[in-house]
Amino acid sequence: MLELIRERFGGAGYIKSNGTKDRALVYVVRKRGDLLRHVIPFFERSPLLSSKHEDFEKFAAIVRAMSEGRHRTPGGFARLLEQALSMNGSGRFRSVRWREVIGSDPESSETICRTQRSDASVKI
């Protein structure tokens, strides 16, 4: 099934194990261009009918803002981070608490430096 979904999205992304304790597989798309060309338009044409629709709208707005470079200024980064942190139940199940990683001021130069060096696989 995941292969069919991947084909539907133009071959974008990849399928991987969800972890060592979980036998489930997950479909992952990380490239911004693939998200903008395939994934986001699909879900705009076929909206989610669950509570995830609002999170999708935020996600699509964040991806578009990043494609315009809005994340490259401290203020823009802070706004997009706040929007991302408000998704998925405000992170009830998030393994990394972003406030602990970046401190209380997401606009500080140390925050920007630490965030740029952070592991790209961290889920926000």
Give the pLDDT of the chain (124 residues) as one tens digit per residue. 999 999 999 999 999 999 878 889 999 999 999 999 999 999 999 999 998 999 999 999 999 999 999 999 989 998 998 898 888 776 665 555 556 656 655 555 444 444 444 434 333 3
Residue at 84: amino acid letter: A
Count how many domains the chain has.
2
116 and 61 in a common domain: yes
56 and 38 in a common domain: no
pLDDT at 119: 39
108 and 52 in a common domain: yes
60 and 104 in a common domain: yes
105 and 61 in a common domain: yes
60 and 39 in a common domain: no
pLDDT at 56: 95
37 and 79 in a common domain: no
**Pairwise CA distance, residues 56 & 58, whole Å:** 5
Does the pTM surpass 0.75? The reply is no
pLDDT at 37: 96
88 and 38 in a common domain: no
58 and 102 in a common domain: yes
pLDDT at 121: 38
pLDDT at 87: 87
**Pairwise CA distance, residues 71 & 57, whole Å:** 18
> What's the domain range around 98?
48-124
Q: Which of 10, 28, 46 is the last residue of a domain?
A: 46
